[in-house]
Structure 1
Amino acid sequence: MDARTRIDLADGGSTVLHVAQAKEVGGPLVLVLPAMGVPAGYYEPFVDDLARTGVTAAVADYPGQGAATPRVDRDLDHGYTEVAHDWLPRVVAAARREHDGPLVGLGHSLGGHILLTHLAGDEPLPDAAVLIGAGTPFWRTHHGVKTLLQTQFMGLLTRIRRFWPGDRLGFGGRQPRTLIREWAAFARTGRLTPGGRPIEPALRDVRLPVLVVDLDGDHLAPPAAVDALVAKLPSAQVERFTFVKAPGDPGKPVSHVSFARSPEIIGERIAEWVLKNAQVSASGPE
């Protein structure tokens, strides 16, 4: 069963939470945090497949993205902090009205950064985490000087335009200036510092179960970039696997983004891990 709930946001706008309910009640809830410029609607086959395999799943657009209103422009601005510590709790609160099982945050690409920013806060919500196609954009672990030049150009143009016009330039969708400025700084320094505050010290003691999924041939999250992001969680209980689509497997070829439209195998693997680890984490050690 699918349900859609409108959520009011702090900027006066709204977003919509799409929940795909599994037949089994009381189990974990997976909340998908989208990649940069990828609308929540793109993930609907993925959340539907998780529900089919026994895990209730949900997804919503970030402020100004996809079906959220209003659209990002020069006057609508926010960064990692607002998404991680205001948007995310509001979305979780809406999901909790109908589902009170263990919560798993699934961060895809930029969504992984948002999830780690949230975990570095005072009241982290998830009982477990999944990172898929999520790495640092740090240029030394991500295609070298080419990445440095591209990301700093994005930061510069965003300062001039007061938002990132990715919908016209073919990368990342339309994004707010503070988010792109913080992301470009992350690419330059290797440190994520929302609002000028580094998240790494607060992440040292995070002990959640974490599933890290590499996508074979993912040029936007190469293994070295994923390694660098995972290293920010030194105390977490990390399990990692590389998803390779074998000949004869159902669905289309899988890339950094397309896995969400062809989830027949990867969804089952993630659901299996979630059902095992989220329940354990929520109940605590015996």
Structure 2
Amino acid sequence: MLLWLPALGVAAKHYLPFADALALEGVAVYVHEWRGHGSSDLRASRDRDWGYRELLTLDLPASEAAISADLPAATRLIGGHSLGGQLACCRLALSPESAQRIWLVASGAPYWRAFPAPRRLLLPLAYRFLPWLAFRRGALPGRAIGFGGTEARSLIRDWARTGLAGRYAAAGLDADLEAALAKVTAPVDAVLLRDDWLAPASSLRFLLSKLGAPGTAPTTLGAEALGVPADHFSWMRQPEALAEALLDEAGRDGALQAAAASSGSSAR
């Protein structure tokens, strides 16, 4: 069973083809809906705000409880795309019993020093400007500027803090996320997209360096394997090759067979 966490600003419905591809191979998939997007009844505004703390300690536990009600004995994987992959790692750090394995797709830490030049030289400006804009407007107008959706200002602040300092933290969260991440020993399967400048290999390596998990060699997919451009989002339209790559990585040590045997074949 896989709990899948979307990228920033992406509604859960856009991952249904990916969930279907995995379900055909016997892996039950539950796609979490971030508050503020898609079917969520909340929307970020000047009067309604949230950050990593709410996502990690309120929303994800609610999804986990729903899964437990459906599949109480299932072997659990947690994973995500982009920011979803980062928060999957953070959730497992806070709740080690919540999953036995991590799947990452087009994901990596946003720390500016973990990006190649010359782009990394511009990132600190973005990490200062976007929180300022979000607080000025009451929420980040992501659709208007071409980055994310309408995002809560505290969420953008938490994300930008990691981008500037290279450390994971959440306003109002007592736990030390960095120390907790270092204790994560669950195996990690990761897929890089060859032409993805938003999550290059160096940013993934930086994220993985925070974990206590065994080292992993990510699978890199290009356009010829995917059948679509190998960028941050195009794979979602045609996810079969990427799903197969994750299944192959997990299958090397029997994790896929265990997950399929305990969860059946459905997509949620």
Relative to the length of structure 1, the TM-score reads 0.82
Structure 1: segments with no counterpart, 5+ residues: 1-28, 282-286
Deviation string, structure 1 residues 155-186 (Cα, Å, up to 9, x no partner): 11112112111022211111111110011111
Query: Partner amino acid for 1:118?
Result: R
CA-to-aligned-CA distance 1:115-136 (integer Å, 9 cap, x gap) = 1221221554011111111111
* Matching residue of 2:190: 212
Runs of 4+ aligned residues of structure 1 deviating over 4 Å after TM superposition are 278-281
Q: Which amino acid aligns with 2:156?
A: I
Match of 1:244 among 221, 240, 259: 221
Query: How many residues of Structure 1 are paired with residues of Structure 2 in the alignment?
Result: 253
Instruction: Give the Cα–Cα distance (whole angstroms) in 2 for the partners of residues 280 and 94 of structure 1.
Output: 21
Q: 2:151 aligned with 1:179, yes or no?
A: no
Structure number with the higher helix fraction is 2
Give the 3-state SS of the residue equivalent to 2:171 in structure 1: helix
Q: Which residue of 2 aligns with 1:17?
A: none
| Alpha-carbon offset, residue 202 of structure 1 | 1.4
- Whole-angstrom distance in 1 between the partners of 2:226 and 2:100: 31
Q: Per the alignment, do residues 65 and 92 of structure 1 end up closer, same or farther by CA in structure 2, a change over 3 Å counting?
A: same
Q: Identify the match of residue 132 of structure 1 among 105, 126, 129.
A: 105
With the length of structure 2 as denominator, give the TM-score of the two structures: 0.87
Indicate the structure whose relative CO is greater, using CA pairs within 8 Å and at least 6 residues apart. 2
Q: Give the corresponding residue for 1:145.
A: 121
The one-letter amino acid paired with 1:240 is: A
Residues 177 and 124 of structure 1: is their aligned pair in 2 closer, same or farther, counting only changes over 3 Å? farther
Whole-angstrom CA distance in 2 between matches of 1:66 and 1:246: 28
Q: Secondary structure at the match of 1:94?
A: helix
- What SS does the corresponding residue of 2:128 show, helix, strand or coil? helix
The alignment-based identity, stated in percent, is 35
**Which residues of 2 match residues 1-286 of structure 1 at below 5 A?**
29-100=1-72, 101-122=74-95, 124-142=97-115, 143-195=119-171, 198-233=176-211, 235-245=212-222, 247=224, 249=225, 251-275=227-251, 276-277=254-255
CA contact (8 A) 1:102 1:278 kept: no
Report the Cα distance in structure 2 between the residues aligned to 1:98 and 1:122, rounded to whole angstroms. Answer: 20
Supply the distance in 2 between the matched residues of 1:279 and 1:80 (Cα, whole angstroms). Answer: 33
RMSD: 2.2
Taking a change above 3 Å as real, the CA distance of residues 148 and 198 of structure 1, as seen in their structure-2 partners, is farther
CA contact (8 A) 2:185 2:213 kept: yes
Contact 1:166 1:173 in 2 (8 A): yes
Q: 1:229 to 1:122 in 2, by over 3 A?
A: same
Task: Evaluate the alpha carbon distance shift between residue 89 and residue 44 of structure 1 in structure 2; reply closer, same or farther with a 3 A threshold.
Answer: same
**Contact 1:128–1:278, Cα closer than 8 Å, also in 2:** no
Q: Which runs of 5+ in 2 are unaligned?
A: 260-268
